[in-house]
Amino acid sequence: MISEKDIKACVDMMAQTKVWEWNTETACTLAGIWNLYEAAGDTAYRDIVKAAMDQLTEAVNKNGADGVNFAMAGCARFLFPLYREQAENSYQEAAELLWNWLQEQSWPDEAAADWAESFYLAEPFYLEYENLFHAKERYNHIQQQLKAASLLAAKSIEDQDEAAAGWYLAAMADCSSLISEEVFDHYKNAEGHLKTGLKQAAGMSSLPVVYAVLKGCRIRALLSEKYLDRAAVKLLESKHVLEDGTLTQKGFLLMAYGEYKKFARKEKNNDRI
């Protein structure tokens, strides 16, 4: 069973690098560490991600669009919460350059074998940018992308493509948490896509799927009575991933563990009311 000591050792191992590479593994690593920061409030976790964002900002603002890709956008998601803490102009400038690059791209792209991975990397960044800097002006476009992704996901799940299903469901869970409930129809649409995808993917149990379930329960898009127990058991039995898994798997395990801890804290606080 996973312990706090195991988690800390995993983070220490993943954060040993002093120079980050902007790829999907790094995006998942940073997401896992940031989720632990949100769950535990340990500023050491925040500092790891901030150091990475400072490097990314320097690279983007120095090199412009050269070398920009979907993975870099996925890594850059953490510019937004850090910008909310302290409005660094360099963070906004880097985010704007990446957003402008995304305007020239097409995703989800049915012709691309990695469409679901690109969707996971790009869509939450796009949503965060719209929330913070665009007053949700492109929510209608985002809804079109979510619908297109849901149709592609249904086909991938039918074909038993568990990797694509995992990327898609993780992305949809993140999008559901980012869309403002004040824009009710948009929020309910995203929630509906998540629920439908999980029903279609019944029986799939990869870590991205477990993460999507736990996050869905925590944001109350899913009924915890129905989904939580099996996801929690799968998570707590995943210690071997901390020892032998890829960085992407470890990142998702940390993301899922953070969601599990946040859910438990939320339930504990509710009991006190």
pLDDT tens profile 242-262: 989 999 999 999 999 999 999
At 66 the pLDDT is 87
Q: Are 134 and 123 in contact (CB under 8 A)?
A: no
Q: What pLDDT score was predicted for residue 273?
A: 41
Residue 44: exposure state from Cβ atoms within 10 A (0-12, 13-18, ≥19): middle
pLDDT for 1 = 76
- Give me the torsion for CA of 75, 81, 85, 89, rounded to 10°: 50
Structural domains of the chain ordered from first start: 4-266 (1.50.10.10)
Q: Taking the chain, what is the end-to-end CA distance rounded to the nearest angstrom?
A: 31
Q: 137-145: long-range contacts (C-beta < 8 A, 24 or more apart)?
A: 139/179, 139/183, 139/186, 142/175, 142/179, 142/186, 143/186, 143/189, 145/107, 145/108, 145/119
Q: Residue 58 has which token pair?
A: 């320097």
Q: pLDDT by residue (tens digit) across 60-85?
A: 989 988 889 999 999 999 999 999 99
What is the reported pTM? 0.95
> Average pLDDT by consecutive 10-residue portion of the chain (273 residues)?
90 87 96 96 95 96 90 97 95 96 93 95 96 89 96 96 97 95 88 96 93 95 91 90 94 96 82 47
Q: Report the pLDDT value the prediction gives residue 19, as an integer from 0 to 100.
A: 87
pLDDT at 184: 86
